[in-house]
Amino acid sequence: MSETVVGTTLDHLFSENMTRRLIIATFASNVHRLQQIIDLAVKYRRKVALSGRSMFKVVDAAVKIGELKIPEGVLIDIEKCKNLFDGELLIVSTGSQGEPMSALTRMAMGEFNKVTIGENDTIIISANPIPGNEKMIYRVINNLYKKGARVVYESLEKIHVSGHACQEEHKILHSLLKPKFFIPVHGEYRHLKRHAQLAVSLGMSEQNILITDIGNCVELTKKSMKLGENIPAGTRLIDGAGVEDYGTSEVMKDRLKMSADGVFTVAVAVSGNYVVGEAVIEAHGCVFAGEDMEAELRALVQRTIDAYDYGKGNKEDLQIAIRKALKNYFYKKTKQAPLIVVSVLEL
């Protein structure tokens, strides 16, 4: 569909909700969509309040360079919304993808102190769910319905079209630019592959096309293009004041295991070649079947210690033996795999 179809749909939604407050959530980066919304607000004599940090930033930048034209007096501070009748107000908000901290999500949760959703609200979500965001978006829609609002989204009305170029438009660009080398970008691998195949169908040599991944370096000269050495790149874990190094996250693996199955700790004291006293056992986040199972675990740890000849081994081997015995027990008994931490203290 053309973007003009969205304008037509929005127009009839404005006309059908003359006495209701309108809230439209859309991509802040879609300036043309924002212009259509502003023009309709002017047509139907509504004041416009912006909500969301990125919405303010984009509107401010677009107005400064002349890409967005807003008549004087149309924009108002969201703090002044309560001074207007519902039919006189339009709120343009971020949160079309159900982002947890976005303005629309906080409205739906009742956690946005400037706007309280009610039965006289019509919320228009002018965006399609980005793959992977469906659950978050439908959670927001459900919460809006629970508050009595009327919600309009892409499966109900033609209120969004993709901003991405279609195949024929890509063909036009390739024909105009006639590139010597080509690296398709943006999208999943399947999109990049199809774009590369499109370039080949238009006459490009496969030798001059590269599909790259995050961290790949491309060495480009006037005559050739090839992959060079990779560099560390991608997601990094920031936890408080600490930053995780690049690579596979052992921290995240441990946290996922603990969150799913809990953590089980065993502490054993060794003096000379003998284990002294009883093992100290603690469980956090594990689901056990009462005191009988706890007694079985203690007995299992003790049997493992008794069967181990510490004089011929070391504390690392004893830790491995206890961990292995517990791992097998948990899997057979509970079908779980808690994080098992075994400490052997030498006195």
- Distances from the Cα of 57 to the Cαs of 64, 78, 142, in angstroms? 11, 15, 29
Q: What one-character DSSP code corresponds to residue 312?
A: G
Q: What one-character DSSP code corresponds to residue 244?
A: P
pLDDT at 195 (0 to 100): 95
Residue 215, by phi and psi: left (phi above 0), alpha (psi -120 to 50) or beta? Answer: left
- Amino acid at position 109, single letter: M
CB 202 within 8 A of CB 171: yes
Q: What one-character DSSP code corresponds to residue 43?
A: H
Nearest alpha carbon to residue 232 among 218, 217, 249, 212: 217
CA distance 245 to 264: 27
CA distance 84 to 79: 11
> Per DSSP, what are the bridge partners of residue 268?
344
Tokens matching residue 127: 């965006």
Q: Which helix (H) or strand (E) holds 5?
A: helix 3-16
CA distance 14 to 41: 8
CA distance 113 to 298: 53
pLDDT at 71 (0 to 100): 95
Which residues are within 8 A (CB) of 170 and not within 5 positions of it... i.e. 6 or more apart? Answer: 195, 198
pLDDT at 307 (0 to 100): 81
CA distance 226 to 217: 9
CB 95 within 8 A of CB 25: yes
Which residues are within 8 A (CB) of 149 and not within 5 positions of it... i.e. 6 or more apart? Answer: 117, 118, 119, 121, 122, 123
Q: What one-character DSSP code corresponds to residue 148?
A: T
| pLDDT, tens digit only, all 347 positions of the chain | 778 888 889 999 999 999 999 999 999 999 999 999 999 999 999 999 999 899 999 999 999 999 999 999 999 999 888 889 999 999 999 999 998 888 999 999 999 988 999 999 999 999 888 878 889 999 999 999 999 999 998 766 787 787 788 899 999 999 999 999 999 998 889 999 999 999 999 999 999 999 999 899 999 999 999 999 999 887 777 777 777 765 556 777 888 888 888 888 988 888 876 777 788 888 888 776 566 777 888 888 888 888 877 667 777 888 888 889 988 988 888 888 888 988 888 87
Q: Which helix (H) or strand (E) holds 306?
A: helix 290-306
Report pTM.
0.65
Domains of the chain: 3-152 (3.40.50.10710), 167-227 (no CATH), 254-346 (3.10.20.580)
Q: What one-character DSSP code corresponds to residue 130?
A: P
CA distance 42 to 130: 30
Q: Is 21 exposed, middle or buried (0-12, 13-18, 19+ CB in 10 A)?
A: buried
Tokens matching residue 234: 């991608």
Q: Is 23 exposed, middle or buried (0-12, 13-18, 19+ CB in 10 A)?
A: buried
From the CB of residue 179, how many other CB atoms can be counted at a distance below 10 Å? 13
Tokens 């008794």 -> residue: 306
CB 13 within 8 A of CB 124: yes
CA distance 201 to 273: 74
CA distance 217 to 231: 7
